[in-house]
Structure 1
Amino acid sequence: MSMPTPNPSQDKTQERRAFIIAIVFLVGIVANLALSLSQAIQTGAWQHFVRAGLVVIFGAATIIAIIWIRRGRVEEGIWLIIRVFLFTLFGTSLLLGGFGLILALFELVLAGSVTAFALPKEKKNRSFITIVIAALLTFGVDLLPFNYRIPAPAAMTTALPIIATLVIITVVTITTRQAWVGGNIRVKLVTSFTLVALIAISILGAIVYNGYQNQIRESIHQRLVNMAGIAALQQNGDLHATLQKPGDEETDAYKEIQATNLAIVATDPEIAYLYTMRMDDQGQVRFFVDAGQPGNDELASLAEVYIDPTPLMLAEFPTLDHAIAEKELATDKWGTWLSGYAPFYNSAGEREGIIGIDISADTVLAQERAILKLIISTAIGTLIGVSLIGLALGTAFTRPIVSLAATAQKVADGDLSARSNVQTSDELGTLASIFDTMTAQLQETLGTLEQRVADRTRALETSTEVSRRLSTILNQEELAKTVVDELVSSFGYYYAHIYRFEGDDKNTLHMKGGTGEAGRILLARGHTIQKGQGLVGRAAERNSVVLVNDTLNEEGWLPNDLLPETRSEIAVPIAIGDEVLGVFDVQHNELNAFSEEDAILLQALANQIAIAAQNAQAYEDTQRRADREALMANIAQEIQSTSTMEDALKVAVRELGRALDTDTSVKLN
């Protein structure tokens, strides 16, 4: 019996996958630890501190796993990550209530994916069994009424379903990709149906959940506003004004106000706390009379500073004149609440303070968790049903698709005369018909491909030759004439001409070259076009190609009586960067004569023209400068050859007159 030979390449691939998985887990652990510590510091709840400790243990285990993986102990490293991950989520479910189902799904999807991608086949079954048991335990303990357990923070209950959905979509997408790479047609259809259904269900579930959540929050928000307003009306502002300092709790005024507020609290078990507040001269909010449900012993003392008021409270407190309520849950050292506020007044109509009312987060979150569990359960059932439907449809579609695939293979082997035998009237029949049409077009395309390649090659060669000749021309007039003549003769265009801006005038385009008799006449007339007018002016204004294949129906097109047969026109800006130097315009006497390939070719030529024009301008400027310097040197030499001041002035005046082509004289006293 022979032993299997190890595959180094496969081992490296498995090690690389395991290492990437471990790094991803480590990044998630860091983010999770930051959230846990933030919640622990904000609330002071021991449950968050314990959970932070679990995350630290998970992080340490992951680092150990990374070391093992890098040393070749891949299975041990992955097993360690999976086990500690399951333990961490189970512990979280023991500490924080309300989302055990989401944690269980997280375990199934994430740990299951790690098992599928990183563990060898013989170890997967054992891992899957462990994951299922852990998920059931995690979900089960969430149903048990542990009194010490606190609600999950709003940030976690909001973010975790979104993260879980994204993870599930990612896993299904990867599975679908693998199926499309190596699976048969039925598997591909099933996974595709499942992926589409999952995305649709996730989006719909998110919309329904957010809508329901907003509806609950808005309902409770309005209820809080009303409750705060009613409670404010029952406050005795005159009595409250007598409470000024710690120790006033023993006064009759304090006891009477607290009794009133306790009576209000007793009317509704959802009211956790009812308290009055004032803001001192330093802008600090202070409690004065605090009342709560029986058993809520952690009441604020009189004049105690509110350590962590909400942004809404701080912003509205100084000027609050009507009842308001928080939109989001707020967490302080007493717990997590949804709060409302309203002003109350003394008998003189002056605002005495603000009354606050808190509803425990349990009331809000319990309703949200109920609908979330319902949505998730419905989504899972729907997903299973859709997968089964996909399996049935995949089986039904297999036979005709296989037949069509056989025909495609014949075409791939070079038999372009092959046609499909699928005669159905459904979408597959349409696909077969399209395939036959495509094959026929392919035959036709291949028949004319060589001619098209030859035409394109000739065009490129002509373009190259024109570009080469442009690089040798240093006279701008000759440059314009050469370009238009070469284009018309080489490509068979009806007409071509070039416009340029002159001097500092950037609004008028002056014609510098044109072909045939029409070009000669237009040049003689000094033909110009204003920027923005016609296709030429439009190209100059936009610094972009303007292509029109039906000029007679183009709004803003400028007809020319010397060119009555123009039916298509393309105007290409001659520019260097954002600076437009002119416009290169080509016309044809056929409809739809120009294509995008023509536009690309002419734009390349226009770029060459811009460079050539710049070179010619530079040459002319250099020539003029050289002539001027030679003239100055000649005059200086003539002056130096004189012997008197009078002769020197005469020579200077004479030479300047010659240079300026005018009469000059000098009068000496």
Structure 2
Amino acid sequence: METNRYPSLRTRIAFVLIFLAALFAAGVSFVLYANFSAELQNSLRHRLENITTLAALQQNGDAFMMVQAEGDPYFQEIQAQNLKIRRSDPELRFVYTMRRDDQGIYFAVDGGLPSEEGYSPFGMRYLEPGPALEENFNTMTGTILEPDFYTDEYGTFLSGYAPILNSSGEQVGVIGVDITANTILAQERAYMVQIITIDFIAGILIVLLGFFAADYLARPIVRLRDAANRISKGDLTHQITNIPTTRELAELAIDFNAMTNSLRGLITDLEQRVAERTEGITRKTEQLRSASYIARQTSEVQDLRVLLDTAVNLITDQFGYYHVGIFLVNEAGDQVTLLSASSEGGKRMMQKGYSLKVGTQGTISDAAAQKKTRIALDVGADAVIFNNPDLPHTRSEIALPLLVHDRLLGLLDIQSDKPGAFTIQDIDVLETLADQVSAAIEKAQLLDASKAAFSQLEALTAERTREAWFDKLKDKERVVTYTPLGLRAEKVLGDEANTVTIPILLRGQNIGAISIARKGNAPWSKQDEDTIREVAIQTGLAIDNIRLIEEATQRAKQEQTVGELAFRFSQALDMDSLLQVAARELGQLPGVEESSVYIAQPSDVDEESGAVRKPRSARRNGS
């Protein structure tokens, strides 16, 4: 390997020393510059705060309240005062007063002349006020400064604000003062030039000292490197005899000598192991990728038949096996049936209805009975285990149980035309794949069962609804018709022209209809029909709710009547009194003409006709 393009150890050590020294110098310079800049900015802020505070104290708040337009006496008085304030310090750029209304902040009196650049006339809106001014305009109790400098076409400035108070101590406005930062920026630049000059001179000295120190430190390591190069070129018999005087380097030289002795015995064995493991890892990685792809594809399939066909075809395509089939167990758990296969022979077996008894001799039956993976590495040579004319080229077979929570769903049968085709690594991957297929099959089966249960529930609900409404309407129909004369309980719409009829459906059962006739010949739009159909749906639900309430009310009345009868029966003191109370109370029920209560011995009752001989009874005519 060509190493001349890489820097030497001496150069690296020199660069590290130079970098550390330069980093230290830069850090010191940065701290000095940051402190100097902070002092300048704090001085400017303190100065601006004092100027703004004094300027606010010089404002006549009462006169400021009277300013209504540019040029009036109060405006000129305040403008002259602020102009003096601005001219008192050459670094003051703007002095201005502001008010605030519903539309925002606007300038009132600018402490400048209309001919000057940046002059703000009375009423001009402050479109982009600073965050400190925007947040504290109405609640300002003292002087505040903007947190940062800002730069525009007029330069770099720092702004300060203070409230303007009238004679009553109420805030009537805000005075703003902008001071230029050009002076401190110039001072910062001059200080930066001084620091850079000093750092440049120090940098030259640091470079010279860095290379001198690096040469001293790297010299013994370079000598040790020369000896190591001979070893790296294959001269494992070479021993380092020039041991450095530094303890760590001396230990390193001794370790090199020990390493050469170990390498001579390990290189051959290591190369062989690396080749074998690389091949195994590559194959297992490809198998896991294929298994993951199959799992993703099968997880998206919901139909069980399509799922099984997809699984066997994908396993055959991705792994290249001779035959792949899936058996599913019956409800009794004593028989497995081939339901999907990828090979032509397997498809012929499916047409014949191929199935196996669980627990009989064979790879598949044993796997189903024991719920464990079964493998035969040379099936064709053992006719007792497997001898299938539909799959004559089989030389290896593996049967993997499809389990979910230790419940057998079926088996995944994989056959190869190569002897000894399944290794331990193959079995691990295939068992993982079988678990994924099991989960997909269970999901599909649960989905099918849920659909069947839902269909049965819908059919049962529809049948019960039909029976309930048949009993409800078997005596009479209910009709309500609206006409210009009002509501009538009769049906007047028939086959009139321009009439739309929408059935009232309740859980799939037709319990009535809504018919609407329109005046004139205007046709019914689809939106009209959709609206009537939605009304029909809501009408059906509301009517069914009323029916349910009526049935619940009727059941409550019946339970109340039974409870009252039981209470009265409990007050009877003898048999005759009880019979009389029972006959009387039953006779008072609505629609009862006559009621009788009989008590007799079992031998006196005719079991076929129910006739009673020698009865003890009580009778009550209904009222």
TM over 0.5: no
Structure (1 or 2) with the greater strand fraction: 2
Structure with greater contact order relative to length (CA < 8 Å, sep ≥ 6): 1
What interval of TM-score do these two structures reach, taking the shorter chain for normalisation? 0.3 to 0.5
Structure (1 or 2) with the greater helix fraction: 1
Q: TM-score, normalised by structure 2?
A: 0.43
Q: Which has the larger radius of gyration?
A: 2
